Structure 1
Amino acid sequence: MRETEEKVEVEVEVEASAEGDISVEDSVVEESEGEQVANEEDNVEVLEPKKEEEDFKAKYLYLAAEMENMRRRYEREKEGLIKYGNEKVLSGLLDVVDNLDRTLEAISSDEDEKIKNIVTGIEMVRNQFLEVLKNNGLEEVKALGEEFDPNFHEALAQQPAEGKNDQEILSVFQKGYVLNGRLLRAAKVIVVKN
């Protein structure tokens, strides 16, 4: 800023010596122009910190939004792990349920009193087991008598049947299950095709 004032004064002296006479008004104009240049430089210096401040503020807001997005993503992943983390274990337990069902089918028609007591005990264990699975979000896919839905059913065969609608499930080979709304195992079924 000081160099500019000196430069203006030097220019005024040079012009004065070249022209000979210089009026006071001319020197005042020259000085006011010098002050304007100095003020503009001050404004530039003031604007630079404001721009820097705005840049820092924008970066801060961006990072704050990014942190919030990361927190939300973490929460969703955590909920997913809690909700579906036991998927592998429950999937393995479905074979146990299938075996209990097969056992009940095989021995339930026996008329022996001891066998009937065993069947009752197995049914109680099965029901208790299914209740525990249900409490963990596992539900059986409705199949028998329902319309075939490829999202939940796997057709093993098609078979004609009188009095039944096309695409109606005629029989279930293996039950299907859903874990918290997500298909864990599709029901394997035989579908009506007339």
Structure 2
Amino acid sequence: MNKKNDEKRNENMTENTEAVEISPEVKQEEQIADSTVSKTISQSTEDIQGIKEKLSNLENQYIRLMADYQNLQKRASQEKEELYKYAAQKTLEVLLPALDTFDYARASVKPDSKAEKIIEDFTLVFEMLLKCLKDIGLETIEETGIPFNPFHHEPLHQIPTNELPEQTVVQVLKKGYMLNKKVIRPALVSVSIKEEMKG
């Protein structure tokens, strides 16, 4: 009985297999689907290739920009070194006339020269040097009779007096200097304080 059932089942399967035919509409839909999938894959491949090219271009651009940046850094570093190396050149160029004057004064001093001539020559050298320094922005801080300014003065002594207002610069012990209005050395000064009455 089992054998008969098996044979019957096999016959039914064969009939069903023969009965399933693929209709032309299904075939056409499959072809359209295959074509669409192929187009999508082709388009995706093109898109991926385009993205790879853009990425490659951007990488090349990045490498060039980094090289330019590194070259710029090297050039800036070299220029900075050159600037430091020759920073004093302008100052020295301004001081050369004073150096020349000093050299002339030194050469003019003979063993039998009079003291007045030596003083005159060195005064000339000092004035020339001061002029050269003023030309590059140096100013002296040496005025007396003005109010004490902690940014321009450094008090060394206090002088009791009632003749001047308190905290007035009475005496400049060592000149101060400013370069282009910036204090590079404050003046050492004596400052007035109120004199106490003895009684």
Q: TM-score, normalised by structure 2?
A: 0.55
Task: Decide whether aligned partners of structure 1 residues 119 and 63 sit closer, same or farther in structure 2, where only a CA change above 3 A counts.
Answer: same
Residue 50 of structure 1: CA displacement? Answer: 0.7
Q: Counterpart amino acid of 2:138?
A: E
Q: Counterpart amino acid of 1:174?
A: K
1:41 alignment counterpart: 45
CA contact (8 A) 1:152 1:183 kept: yes
Structure 1 counterpart SS, 2:149: coil
Q: Distance in 2 between matches of 1:77 and 1:168?
A: 45
CA contact (8 A) 1:172 1:187 kept: yes
Matched residue count: 150
Residue 120 of structure 1: CA displacement? Answer: 3.2
Task: Decide whether aligned partners of structure 1 residues 74 and 168 sit closer, same or farther in structure 2, where only a CA change above 3 A counts.
Answer: farther
Residue 70 of structure 1: CA displacement? Answer: 5.8
Task: Decide whether aligned partners of structure 1 residues 28 and 157 sit closer, same or farther in structure 2, where only a CA change above 3 A counts.
Answer: same
1:141 alignment counterpart: 140
Deviations 1:97-135 (A, max 9, x none): xxxxxxxxxxxxxxxxx6555543332232123234444
1:4 alignment counterpart: none
Residue 151 of structure 1: CA displacement? Answer: 3.5
Displacement over 6 Å in runs of 4+: none
Q: Distance in 2 between matches of 1:40 and 1:184?
A: 71
Unpaired runs of at least 5, structure 1: 1-18, 91-113
CA contact (8 A) 1:83 1:180 kept: no
Q: Distance in 1 between matches of 2:166 and 2:66?
A: 57
Q: Distance in 1 between matches of 2:41 and 2:21?
A: 26
RMSD: 3.6
Q: Distance in 2 between matches of 1:153 and 1:184?
A: 11
Q: Which residues of 2 match residues 6-45 of structure 1 at below 5 A?
A: 21=22, 22-45=26-49
Structure 1 counterpart SS, 2:143: coil
Q: Distance in 1 between matches of 2:166 and 2:84?
A: 38
1:169 aligns with 2:165: no
Task: Decide whether aligned partners of structure 1 residues 158 and 53 sit closer, same or farther in structure 2, where only a CA change above 3 A counts.
Answer: farther
Q: Which residues of 2 match residues 53-92 of structure 1 at below 5 A?
A: 53-61=57-65, 63-64=67-68, 67-68=71-72, 71=75, 75=79, 78-79=82-83, 82-84=86-88
Unpaired runs of at least 5, structure 2: 1-19, 96-113, 195-199
CA contact (8 A) 1:147 1:169 kept: yes
Residue 68 of structure 1: CA displacement? Answer: 4.5
Identical residues among aligned pairs (%)? 21
Q: Distance in 2 between matches of 1:192 and 1:158?
A: 6
Residue 173 of structure 1: CA displacement? Answer: 0.7
Structure whose alpha-carbon radius of gyration is higher: 2
1:107 alignment counterpart: none
Q: Distance in 2 between matches of 1:69 and 1:80?
A: 16
